[in-house]
């Protein structure tokens, strides 16, 4: 690029920025939303947990549970599918695990729903006769929530994966973890 082309690009860029600022100022358009850096904290924790405790068992991560509608390509089905974080096939039972960095009471409904849908999931037909056990694996949980989840027949295990400190600083303490020292 020569000097004239660089000047033209900079001029066009500044004109665009000025025009956008004017449109935002008059309310014609809304300012762009700040995009937060996407982090799938729980997925990493799930993989670490399973590799530590269930490495030799057949395991599926982020698996859709429930019946698959036949014949039609229903777009609503794709919006309403339920996704279990982890399904582990044990010798005598099936374990459905939901991972949470911080467990909340609503995980009970999630796991109960997955357990109800599991025997309708075609890819697991050979395991439908096995009992289903439900487990929450979380890094942080308060006593009342733990008691509530366990009173619903769901096991709770506290597990702090390798990303726990980073998550805690970024989400709980709201510290900027993108800076390097």
- Reported as a single tens digit per residue, the pLDDT across 142-174 is 999 999 999 999 999 999 999 999 999 999 998
pTM: 0.74
Chain segment 31-78, per-residue pLDDT in tens: 776 555 557 899 999 999 999 999 999 999 999 999 877 656 666 666
Chain segment 73-120, per-residue pLDDT in tens: 666 666 778 999 999 999 999 999 999 999 999 999 999 999 999 999
Cα 151 from chain centre: 25
Domain boundaries, the chain: 1-34, 41-172
- Burial (CB < 10 A; 0-12, 13-18, 19+), residue 171, is middle
Q: Cα–Cα distance between 160 and 119 in angstroms, integer?
A: 31
41-172: CATH topology: Trna Endonuclease; Chain: A, domain 1 (3.40.1350)
């Amino acid at each position: 690029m020569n000097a004239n082309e660089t000047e033209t690009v900079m001029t066009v860029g500044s004109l665009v920025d000025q025009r956008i600022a004017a449109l935002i100022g008059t309310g014609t358009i809304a300012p762009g939303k700040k995009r937060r850096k996407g982090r799938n904290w729980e997925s990493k924790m799930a993989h670490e947990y399973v590799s530590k405790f269930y490495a030799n068992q057949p395991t599926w991560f982020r698996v859709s549970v429930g019946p698959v509608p036949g014949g039609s390509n229903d777009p609503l089905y794709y919006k309403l599918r339920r996704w279990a974080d982890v399904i582990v096939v044990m010798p005598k039972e099936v374990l459905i695990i939901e991972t949470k960095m911080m467990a909340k009471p609503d995980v009970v409904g999630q796991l109960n729903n997955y357990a109800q849908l599991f025997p309708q999931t075609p890819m697991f037909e050979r395991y439908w006769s096995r009992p289903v056990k439900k487990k929450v694996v979380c890094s942080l949980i308060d006593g009342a929530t733990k008691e509530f989840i366990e009173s619903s027949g769901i096991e709770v295990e506290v597990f702090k994966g390798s990303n726990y400190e980073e998550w805690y600083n970024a989400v709980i303490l709201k510290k900027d973890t993108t800076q390097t020292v």
